[in-house]
């Protein structure tokens, strides 16, 4: 019998690809996408529900399944401030993880960031590291954390800085010692996440950049 996967951040550069690939995966029967706005998908496996992320407790019953893919994220510029970004990148995701854990979700899969560290002086890396540490305390039987570098792919809104970086970084990262900063496509991260979700794994796993790339 196939499993049920919950996906937040289902319209983002990684989440969208996760949903597409889960729809083709034999080990998944049902995909629950939780979004702010309607997010239709052609697969009959996908069930979309609209939620208010500021009132997640009211939707607690939606966080029932076998695995949770946490792909939510924003930028400081899009959010308007570091504090507002923290609400999306840390507070919302942590609350979702808490509800999923309480509902018995077995496997939690998180898109984090290369360099994530709760003690970092960088606000973004600090919140990512803080989320990782707090999730590990929730008691999920299995946690898989993916730490890509700059994510590239189709977005609903063009991010100029990322567009420039994605063009420049591949050349810069040919310099010895800088390989770990090379960009990675959202599709590649999604492929690794879905692959990991289909296999038996350790209670806690972290995948850094080179471990996310899948050899064809």
Residue 208 tokens read as 């850094």
Q: Is 119 a catalytic residue?
A: no
Rounded CA separation 122/77 (Å): 15
Dihedral angle at the C-alpha atoms of 189, 77, 8, 13, nearest 10 degrees?
-30
- Cβ neighbours of 132 (radius 10 Å): 20
> What letter would DSSP give residue 118?
T
- How far is residue 115 from each of residues 28, 128, 144, measured CA to CA in Å? 31, 9, 16
Residue 45 is a catalytic residue:
no
Distance CA 157, CA 19 (A): 19
**Which of 3, 45, 92, 128 is flagged as catalytic?**
128
Cβ neighbours of 112 (radius 10 Å): 23
Count other C-beta atoms under 10 Å from residue 216's C-beta.
Answer: 4
Q: Choosing from 45, 92, 108, 124, which is the catalytic residue?
A: 124
Contact 181, 173 (CB under 8 A): yes
The catalytic site residues sit at 124, 128
């Amino acid at each position: 019998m196939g499993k049920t996967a919950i996906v937040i951040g289902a319209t983002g550069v990684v989440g969208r690809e996760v949903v597409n690939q889960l729809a083709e995966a034999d080990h998944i029967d049902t995909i629950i996408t939780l979004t702010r706005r309607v997010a239709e998908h052609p697969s009959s496996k996908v069930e979309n529900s609209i939620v208010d992320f500021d009132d997640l407790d009211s939707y607690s019953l939606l966080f029932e399944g076998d695995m949770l893919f946490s792909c939510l994220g924003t930028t400081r510029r899009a959010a308007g401030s570091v504090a507002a970004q923290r609400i999306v990148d840390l507070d919302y995701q942590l609350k979702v993880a808490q509800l999923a854990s309480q509902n018995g979700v077995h496997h939690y899969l998180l898109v984090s960031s290369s360099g994530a560290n709760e003690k970092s002086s960088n606000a973004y890396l600090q919140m990512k590291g803080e989320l990782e540490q707090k999730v590990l305390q929730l008691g999920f039987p299995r946690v898989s954390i993916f730490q890509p570098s700059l994510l590239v792919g189709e977005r609903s809104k063009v991010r100029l800085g990322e567009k420039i970086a994605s063009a420049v970084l591949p050349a810069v990262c040919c310099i010895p010692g800088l390989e770990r900063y090379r960009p990675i496509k959202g599709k590649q991260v999604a492929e690794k996440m879905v692959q990991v979700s289909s296999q038996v794994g350790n209670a806690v796993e972290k995948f850094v950049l080179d471990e996310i790339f899948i050899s064809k």
